[in-house]
A = this chain, B = another copy of it.
């Protein structure tokens, strides 16, 4: 997975011919993956040994290993390198949306702070009451999902997407409350205001947002998600997939911290649903 990082050479450690090779690899994975070292060397205008050394510097065992690692990346990792393909037909749009969504997930995985995730999950499980604050549009979906996921695990949780309401809730929050906030931009002044109120009153806060943003600064636990936004304004933002994944991770981890409790609640829900349905108990919990 680090091969991608090494290839994109963000810290400029590659020099001369290596950079040329890296660029070629990113531009035309298919060619590289299907070529022998000689063919690649020729196309890049270097000698085979240079290619081998390049692979080693990137952390691979040799050229075949490099090919294999590159092939692994291709499926998702490299798609976003191609800037923006204009789409038109249904299959192009589908391809585009799937690729962007998978990329968002891929990128999220690369930048995730597992420790923060863990801390957040523990905080949530330990809370007497969880308040989830969203805003218009995207974050609303996220906090509603958090609600939907956590109530099933036996958590006391409320989701709210109204700024005034959020401020009142913040002012009224009792000890034992944990507040969760979501802001895609990290620049939601109303949420920052709430977080300020809560900090004064020592109510722990968790946010999913852009790192370094005002929202991030104002919160106790930050799960940062920094994704590039595409240029196609007609395509809904793929960042939502990453945020949704964060919610799933938190829900999953919260469930794990007290499996017995989670299981008990889930089972109650299931009984309720199955008794009202056709008895097929392999179905999802909540259509």
Which segment, of A13-21, A137-145, A170-178, A194-202, faces chain B? A137-145
Indicate if A183 sits at the interface (CB-CB under 8 A). Answer: yes
**Do the beta carbons of B98 and A106 come within 8 Å of each other?**
yes
Which segment, of A51-59, A111-119, A123-131, faces chain B? A111-119
- Counted per complex, copies of this chain come to 2
Closest B residue to A235 by CB, please name it. B252
Q: Which residues of B contact A33 (CB under 8 A)?
A: 68, 72
**Do the beta carbons of A64 and B67 come within 8 Å of each other?**
yes
Indicate if A26 sits at the interface (CB-CB under 8 A). Answer: no
**Do the beta carbons of A253 and B93 come within 8 Å of each other?**
yes
**Contacts A68-B71, A94-B249, A108-B98 given: A233-B136 contact, CB under 8 Å?**
no
Indicate if A278 sits at the interface (CB-CB under 8 A). Answer: yes
Q: Which residues of B contact A89 (CB under 8 A)?
A: 114, 118
Indicate if A244 sits at the interface (CB-CB under 8 A). Answer: yes
Indicate if A5 sits at the interface (CB-CB under 8 A). Answer: no
Indicate if A283 sits at the interface (CB-CB under 8 A). Answer: yes
Q: Which of A235, A236, A249 has the most CB of B within 10 A?
A: A236
- Interface positions of A from 88 to 114, Cβ below 8 Å from B: 88-91, 93-98, 101-102, 105-106, 108-109, 112, 114
A93-B117, A97-B245, A229-B284 known, 14 other contacts, Cβ within 8 Å: A91-B114, A93-B249, A93-B252, A93-B253, A102-B102, A102-B105, A139-B287, A140-B148, A141-B148, A144-B144, A184-B287, A187-B283, A234-B259, A235-B251
The 6 nearest A-B residue pairs measured at CB: A137-B286, A234-B255, A71-B71, A90-B114, A90-B118, A68-B71
